[in-house]
């Protein structure tokens, strides 16, 4: 089935695990509605430059925006103030030690222009399953024994698909992002997918590229 969206037809997904070509997304980047959050469908989505994003009471919405916000890991920007924060030793980084806590904190994080959270109960369950299977990973930032910030996303091998970050202490999420980028740069990852533009991501070195260029990079590094 198809429904007319803004600019192009909108696809309704059934039980079969498949997606239409990303070029069929509408002007806002919305590609399809429906389906489920199974591990198989989520992996197929991310491998094809598609991600879910929806509110509590909505159907599952699948997106592939154009342009796409990305960070080439070696291009991460570290401001003078953040260098001082890093050198201070006030924060400590761990990886995959508190995935569920990071997920919950990201859901609680208040965001400008957004009401509620897109990290619903079913989303949490789906990403916890991805974590248990080794695909979803988290970076945690600690201040003493307190979880001060962090982020999580999907690791596709040479591409990391960032999903969300949070901070309860100033600069903690920036610290997590910078440390993740530095690690992925050392491991020669090609790309960090940041999905959509924010000033925060731009300040850290992320940039917009065309969807076509993003898909080409994604396919080249799968």
Domains of the chain: residue spans and CATH: 2-65 (3.30.70.3550), 69-220 (3.40.630.70)
CA quadruple 130, 133, 138, 142: dihedral sign: positive
Residue entry with tokens 């970050």:
165
Written as tens digits, the pLDDT of the chain (222 aa) is: 333 445 555 799 999 999 999 999 999 999 999 999 999 999 999 999 999 998 765 789 999 999 999 999 999 999 999 999 999 999 999 999 999 999 999 999 865 544 445 688 899 999 999 999 999 999 999 999 999 999 999 999 999 999 999 999 999 999 999 999 999 999 999 999 999 999 999 999 999 999 999 999 999 998
Give the C-alpha separation, 135 to 140, whole Å.
Answer: 16
Q: Which residues contact residue 199 at a Cβ distance below 8 angstroms, ignoring those fewer than 6 apart? A: none
Give the C-alpha separation, 30 to 185, whole Å.
Answer: 31
* pTM: predicted TM-score of the whole model, two decimal places: 0.92
């Amino acid at each position: 089935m198809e429904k007319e969206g803004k600019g192009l037809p909108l696809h309704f997904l059934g039980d079969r695990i498949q997606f239409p070509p990303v070029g069929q997304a509408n002007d806002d980047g919305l590609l399809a509605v429906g389906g489920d959050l199974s591990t198989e469908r989520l992996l197929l989505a991310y491998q094809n430059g598609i991600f879910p994003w929806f509110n509590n009471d909505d159907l599952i919405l699948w997106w592939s925006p154009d342009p796409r916000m990305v960070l080439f890991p070696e291009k991460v920007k570290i401001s003078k103030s953040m260098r001082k924060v890093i050198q201070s030793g006030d924060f400590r980084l761990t990886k995959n030690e508190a995935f569920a806590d990071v997920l919950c904190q990201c859901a609680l994080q208040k965001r400008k222009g957004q009401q509620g959270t897109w990290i619903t109960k079913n989303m949490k369950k789906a990403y916890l399953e991805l974590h248990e299977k080794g695909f979803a990973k988290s970076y945690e930032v600690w201040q003493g024994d307190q979880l001060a910030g962090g982020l999580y996303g999907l690791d596709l091998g040479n591409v990391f698909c960032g999903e969300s970050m949070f901070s309860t202490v100033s600069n903690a999420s920036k610290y997590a992002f910078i440390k993740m980028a530095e690690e992925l740069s050392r491991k020669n990852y090609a790309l960090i997918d940041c999905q959509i533009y924010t000033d925060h991501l731009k300040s850290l070195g992320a940039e917009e590229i065309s969807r076509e260029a993003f898909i080409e990079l994604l396919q080249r590094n799968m």
